[in-house]
Amino acid sequence: MGKINLLTKDTFNKIAAGEVVERPASVVKELVENSIDAGATEIYVEIQSGGEELIKIVDNGEGILEEDLRNAFLPHATSKIRTADDLFSIHTMGFRGEALSSIASVSKILTRSKTKEQDGREILIEGGEIRYEKYSSMDQGTLMEIRDLFYNVPARKKFLKTPSREGAIISEIVSKISMAHPSISFFLVVDGKEMLRTYGTGNQKDVIRQVYSKKVHDHVFYFENHFDSFSIFGFIGHEEISRGSRAHETIFVNKRLVQSKVITTAAEKAFKSFATVSRFPFFVINIGIFPELIDVNIHPQKAEIKFEDDAHMFKSVFGTIHQSLREGLQETFKIQEEEPDRYEQLRQPETGPVRIDIPVDLKKDPRVMKIEEDRKALDAMRRESTLRQQDSLIREPYEALKAEDVPVVRSEEYTVNPTAKFPMPRIIGQFRATYILTEIQDELYIFDQHAAHEKINFEKYMEEIKKGHVAAQGLLIPEILDLSMDDYQLYLENKEVLKEAGFLLEEFGDRSVAIREVPIFLGKTEAAPYFHEILDNIRNLGKGSKEEVKYLRIATAACKASIKAYEELTMEEMRHLIETLRFIEEPFSCPHGRPTLVKLTEKDMQKMFRRIV
Own/partner contacts of 182-187, CB < 8 Å, gap of 24 or more, are 182/206, 182/207, 183/41, 184/36, 184/40, 184/41, 184/42, 184/43, 185/41, 185/42, 185/43, 186/43, 186/45, 187/42, 187/43, 187/44, 187/45
Helix (H) or strand (E) holding 439: strand 435-440
For 38-47, 290-299, 469-478, 536-545, which range has the lowest pLDDT when averaged over its residues? 536-545
Whether residue 325 is predicted with pLDDT greater than 80 in this model: the reply is yes
Three-class SS state of 280: strand
Domain ranges of the chain: 9-197, 213-330, 420-612
Fold that domain 420-612 belongs to in CATH: formyl-coa transferase, domain 3 (3.30.1540)
Please report the pLDDT score of residue 46 as a whole number.
Answer: 96
Whether residue 352 is predicted with pLDDT greater than 60 in this model: the reply is no
pLDDT bracket for residue 362 (50, 70, 90): very low
Displacement of CA 106 from its chain's centroid (Å): 33
What are the backbone angles phi and psi of residue 283, rounded to the nearest 5°?
Answer: -155, 150
Q: Please state whether beta strands 512-519 and 220-226 pair in parallel, antiparallel, or not at all (unpaired).
A: unpaired
Which ranges of 522-570 does DSSP label H, i.e. alpha helix?
Answer: 527-539, 547-558
pLDDT bracket for residue 517 (50, 70, 90): confident
Most confident of 206-215, 272-281, 380-389, 453-462: 206-215
Displacement of CA 416 from its chain's centroid (Å): 39
Q: Can you tell me the distance from the alpha carbon of 236 to that of 488, in angstroms, rounded to the nearest whole number?
A: 22
Please report the pLDDT score of residue 381 as a whole number.
Answer: 60
Q: What angle do CA 100, 192, 59 make, to 5 degrees?
A: 40
CATH entry 3.30.230.10 includes domain 213-330: yes
**Which DSSP string corresponds to 172-236?**
HHHHHHHHH-TTSEEEEEETTEEEEE----S-HHHHHHHHS-HHHHHTEEEEEEE-SSEEEEEEE
Architecture label for domain 9-197: 2-Layer Sandwich (3.30)
Nearest to 95 by CA among 144, 47, 152, 36: 36
pLDDT bracket for residue 445 (50, 70, 90): very high
Q: Can you tell me the distance from the alpha carbon of 101 to that of 77, in angstroms, rounded to the nearest whole number?
A: 8
pLDDT bracket for residue 45 (50, 70, 90): very high
Whether residue 408 is predicted with pLDDT greater than 90 in this model: the reply is no
Angle separating helix axes 163-180 and 485-493, nearest 10 degrees:
170
pLDDT bracket for residue 499 (50, 70, 90): confident
**Which DSSP string corresponds to 137-176?**
---SEEEEEEESTTTT-HHHHTT---HHHHHHHHHHHHHH
Burial class (CB in 10 A: 0-12, 13-18, 19+), 358: exposed
Q: Side chain identity at 80, as an amino acid letter? A: K
Helix, strand, coil in percent for the chain, rounding step 5: 40, 20, 35
Nearest to 450 by CA among 563, 575, 556: 563
Give tens-digit pLDDT for 175-211.
999 999 999 999 999 999 899 999 999 999 999 999 9
Q: What is the DSSP letter of 240?
A: G
Please report the pLDDT score of residue 395 as a whole number.
Answer: 45
